């Protein structure tokens, strides 16, 4: 009985390899195959410094992390409380401002998710992401 | 009992097929979601991203059509347990990732909803295991 279950597992695992290898061969020349492709909407900290007061910071981390510390002037907007927090961002936004979303660190994804929703659901333009997030800002903050 | 088994197997199978198809269509996005967990390097993550969706698709179909059923049940249970474990691990380490379970469709789901959804799938799988054992016991008694 146990052997037949294991045999089925091996067959299913093997079956999945066939189309996966085909698709991988098709994508072999894709630039993302070797390293993670850069997101065109990402901005560097140096760019945001050049923009100065034009930047409207949006903190995509959970409320409790925002309460512990955030970029001065940043507004909280996370997916857990999207409807409650969105109005304050829309009130502060104007077409000439550059909206930069950040989360904890490079590995987090919340900033990309929030930026995507701001672009598609709220219809805002000039929405970028600071990939290094709060961690990068803290490391480079003026002391 | 057979009807419950059929309904649950089709339901869970359809979820796996749906999740697999979404990721098969955009493997680079799934590679990015895997990379956000910071558990494995990009080069390995991108290979997993090309394989795992096909495995989900095939085990989903196996559940729906009741072929290699026990093997598919074992693989789906293991993968859901891994998804739940990785999500909890990431959150415990302060990594606010999107789970990537349903490709672009899951980017608007909060962590709590991901856990609720995966918890429901796991519960359905446990019921399927139980039914399988009961049916096996009944057929042994009757022979």
Residues of B in contact with A5 (CB under 8 A): 70-71, 74
pTM: 0.67
Residues 6+ apart with CB under 8 A from A71: A57, A59, A102, A134, A137
pLDDT at B17: 96
A52-104 confidence digits (pLDDT tens): 889 999 999 988 889 999 999 999 998 888 889 999 999 998 888 999 999 98
Q: Do A30 and B42 touch (CB under 8 A)?
A: no
Which regions in chain B score pLDDT beneath 50?
A: none
Distance CA B29, CA B25 (A): 9
**Looking at chain A, which residue has its C-alpha nearest residue B94?**
A104
pLDDT at B65: 95
Distance CA A106, CA A20 (A): 29
Under 8 Å CB pairs connecting chains A and B tally to 97
Residues 6+ apart with CB under 8 A from B56: B16, B17, B19, B20, B23, B79
Minimum-distance CB partner of B50 among A24, A105, A116: A24
pLDDT at A29 over 80: no
Q: Do A9 and B62 touch (CB under 8 A)?
A: no
The per-residue DSSP string of chain A comes to: -HHHHHHHHHHHHHHHHHHHHHHHHHTTT-GGGTSPPPPTTB--HHHHHHHGGGEEEEE-S-HHHHHH---TT-EE--GGGHHHHHHHHHHH--TTSEEEEE-SSTT--HHHHHHHHHHHTS--SSEEE-TTHHHHHHHHS--
Strand order in the sheet with A98-102: A75-76, A55-59, A98-102, A127-129
pLDDT at B142: 65
Q: Does B129 touch chain A (CB under 8 A)?
A: no
The SS3 call for residue B109 is coil
ipTM summary value: 0.85
Report residue B8 CA to chain centroid gap.
14
């Amino acid at each position: 009985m146990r052997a037949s279950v294991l045999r089925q597992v091996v067959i299913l695992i093997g079956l999945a390899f066939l189309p996966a290898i085909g698709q991988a061969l098709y994508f072999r020349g894709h630039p993302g195959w070797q390293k993670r492709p850069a997101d065109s909407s990402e901005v560097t900290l140096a760019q945001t410094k050049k923009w100065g007061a034009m930047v409207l910071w949006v903190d995509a981390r959970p409320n409790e992390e925002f309460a512990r510390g955030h970029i001065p002037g940043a507004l909280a907007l996370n997916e857990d409380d999207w409807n409650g927090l969105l109005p304050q961002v829309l009130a502060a936004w104007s077409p000439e401002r550059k909206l930069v979303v950040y989360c904890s660190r490079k590995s987090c994804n919340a900033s990309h998710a929030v930026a995507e929703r701001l672009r598609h659901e709220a219809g805002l333009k000039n929405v970028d992401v600071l990939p290094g997030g709060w961690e990068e800002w803290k490391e480079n903050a003026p002391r | 009992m057979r009807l419950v088994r059929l309904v649950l197997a089709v339901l869970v199978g359809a979820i796996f097929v749906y999740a697999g198809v979404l990721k098969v269509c955009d493997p680079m996005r799934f590679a990015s979601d895997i990379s956000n967990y910071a558990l494995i390097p990009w080069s390995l993550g991108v290979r997993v991203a090309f394989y795992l969706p096909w495995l989900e698709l095939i085990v989903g179909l196996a559940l729906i059509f009741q072929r290699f059923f026990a093997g598919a049940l074992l693989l789906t249970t293991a993968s859901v347990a891994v998804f739940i474990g990785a999500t909890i691990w990431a959150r415990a380490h302060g990594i606010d990732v999107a789970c990537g379970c349903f490709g672009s469709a899951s980017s608007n789901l909060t962590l709590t909803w991901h856990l609720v959804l995966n918890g429901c799938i796991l519960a359905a799988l446990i019921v399927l295991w139980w039914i399988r054992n009961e049916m096996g016991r009944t057929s042994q008694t009757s022979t």
